[in-house]
Amino acid sequence: MKDKKSIPKTEVEWKEVLTESQYEVLRGGGTEAPFTGELLKEKRKGMYTCVACGNALFSSEVKFESGTGWPSFTDALPGSVKYISDDSHGMKRTEVVCSKCGSHLGHVFDDGPIEKGGKRHCINSVCLELEAEA
């Protein structure tokens, strides 16, 4: 993303500021291949933000290894995401989108750690940037 101060309003503007793979997932609702994302095995502490607009989404404190092939988080920061019913591909799922720019991030499932609320936010690496702690 070139400039996170202003959020593009048209799909043409999004295509100008996102890479092809970012656009496919964030704006097209796609999914990156499992076990390919750069942030899957990331262990540094910090804040995961939306690559499209810079909105803070997830703390590294709630990231966990789910074995699914995508970065997984037990919970999003309050107000950072919206949840939308998704019945595509013959499945009943809940889509997770950035509350600031409306970009697709992934889905949330009810198979996360029980002791941490039971949710698994399954998020595409290409949608995230890590602002690592110094």
What residues are labeled active site?
122
Please name the helix (run of DSSP H) or strand (run of DSSP E) that holds residue 87, with its range, or none.
none
What span, in angstroms and rounded, lies between the C-alpha atoms of 27 and 14? 8
| The two three-digit tokens of residue 97, written as one number | 């989108």
Q: Are 59 and 116 in contact (CB under 8 A)?
A: no
Question: 49: which strand partners?
Answer: 56, 129
Total length of the chain: 134
Largest CA distance in the chain: 44
What span, in angstroms and rounded, lies between the C-alpha atoms of 74 and 98? 16
